[in-house]
Amino acid sequence: MEKSLNEYREQRCKDIEENLKEIRDNIAEAALKSGRTEKDVHLMAVTKTVEPYFINHAIANGIDLIGENRVQELLSKKPDLNLSGVDVHLIGHLQTNKVKQVVGEVSTIQSVDSIKVAKEISKCSVNAGINTDVLLEVNIGEEESKNGLEYNQVLEICHEMAELPGISVKGLMAIPPICENDVVLRQFFSNMYQLYVDIDNKKIHNICMQILSMGMSSDYEAAIMEGANLVRVGSSIFGARVY
Ligand SMILES: *Cc1c(COP(=O)(O)O)cnc(C)c1O
């Protein structure tokens, strides 16, 4: 029993190492195709459902950015993670009543999808005497089932958020719809890139477009080719999730 658990762990660790190598090669290739290099694209390991043991193994193999979806899961795993030199982002939908628990626990909240939640992050950050970086999540496919701001709302929200203390907008995040057709998928990513550039060009005080977070296991190469500089990869690193 003991032995087989060790064997399982060893095998999974080897898989993680190999997966990371392959993903880094793919990122480098896609970055070159988009006129950049691998250094221009940050690989986030998405760690939801993954035990700290394996997350720490990814960290030991060079991962310096992790993303969790749920505040509760993040807080319960955090004490067991080797986070020295590692950045932690929240990437899942955030309810207003959970904001207080997560402010100060992550460097960036990628999933800001309303002015209401932004105001709460601002308030909690000011109370804690800190600043919280955020990305605005855009519902790029205008899907009923998904969270995120409407494309046409984003600029207006940026202007509102510029006035809030304790919170800084650093970029945009999106999860496009599942697309059979690669051309359609690329168009969603390209629309995001356009919005990112357009907002940057407005030079709004306190709004600074540094991070374009898009692309997951199935589509990170396409996202990079359309301008993503942060990709969020989970199952391709750690294997299929078991809930
Ligand atoms: C789960 C998740 C990912 C990673 O998904 P994979 O397909 O496993 O790579 C990326 N971003 C968000 C917001 C997620 O919830």
What pLDDT, on a 0 to 100 scale, did the predictor assign at position 243? 79
Q: Which residues pair with 42 in a beta bridge?
A: 230
pLDDT tens-digit map of 107-149: 999 999 999 999 999 999 999 999 999 999 999 999 999 999 9
Say yes or no: CB of residue 216 within 6 Å of ligand 1. Answer: yes
Q: What is the pLDDT of residue 222?
A: 97
- Is the Cβ atom of 234 under 6 angstroms away from ligand 1? yes
Given this model, what pLDDT does residue 159 score? 95
Q: What spacing in Å lies between the alpha carbon of 160 and ligand 1's midpoint?
A: 29
Q: Which of 63, 111, 216, 235 to mutate to test the pocket of ligand 1 (most atoms within 8 A of CB)?
A: 216
pLDDT in tens, 228-240: 999 999 999 999 9
pLDDT for position 233: 98
> 2-238: CATH homologous superfamily?
Alanine racemase (3.20.20.10)
Ranges of beta strands (E only) in 162-234 are 167-174, 207-213, 230-233
Burial 80-102 (b: 16+ CB within 10 A, else e): ebeeeebebbbbbebeeebbeeb
pLDDT in tens, the chain (243 residues): 567 889 999 999 999 999 999 999 999 999 999 999 999 999 999 999 999 999 999 999 999 999 999 999 999 999 999 999 999 999 999 999 999 999 999 999 999 999 999 999 999 999 999 999 999 999 999 999 999 999 999 999 999 999 999 999 999 999 999 988 999 999 999 999 999 999 999 999 889 999 999 999 999 999 999 999 999 999 999 999 987
Q: In terms of C-beta density within 10 A (0-12 exposed, 13-18 middle, 19 or more buried), how is residue 154 classed?
A: buried
Between the two ends of the chain, the Cα-to-Cα distance in Å is 23
Q: What is the rounded distance in angstroms from the CA atom of residue 151 to the CA atom of residue 153?
A: 6
Ligand 1 atom at shortest distance from the alpha carbon of 220: 9
Whole-number pLDDT of residue 1:
57
Helix axes 154-162, 115-128, angle to 10 degrees: 20
Cβ of residue 107 lying under 6 Å from some atom of ligand 1 = no
**DSSP for 27-84, written as a single string:** HHHHHHHTT--GGGSEEEEE-TT--HHHHHHHHHTT--EEEES-HHHHHHHGGGS--T
CA of 216 to the centre of ligand 1 (A): 6
Instruction: Verify whether ligand 1 is closer than 6 Å to residue 91 (CB atom).
Output: yes
Q: 52-60 and 2-33 are packed helices; what angle lies between their axes, rounded to 10 degrees?
A: 50
Closest atom of ligand 1 to CA, residue 111: 13
User: Which one of 22, 26, 55, 91 would you pick to mutate in the ligand 1 pocket, going by the greatest count of ligand atoms within 8 A of its CB?
Assistant: 91
Task: Assess whether the C-beta atom of 57 lies below 6 angstroms from ligand 1.
Answer: no
Residue 153 beta carbon below 6 angstroms from any ligand 1 atom: no
**CB–CB of 28/43 below 8 Å?**
no
pLDDT confidence of residue 106: 98
Q: Is 69 in the pocket of ligand 1 (CB under 6 A)?
A: yes
Report how far ligand 1's centroid is from the alpha carbon of 47 (Å). 9
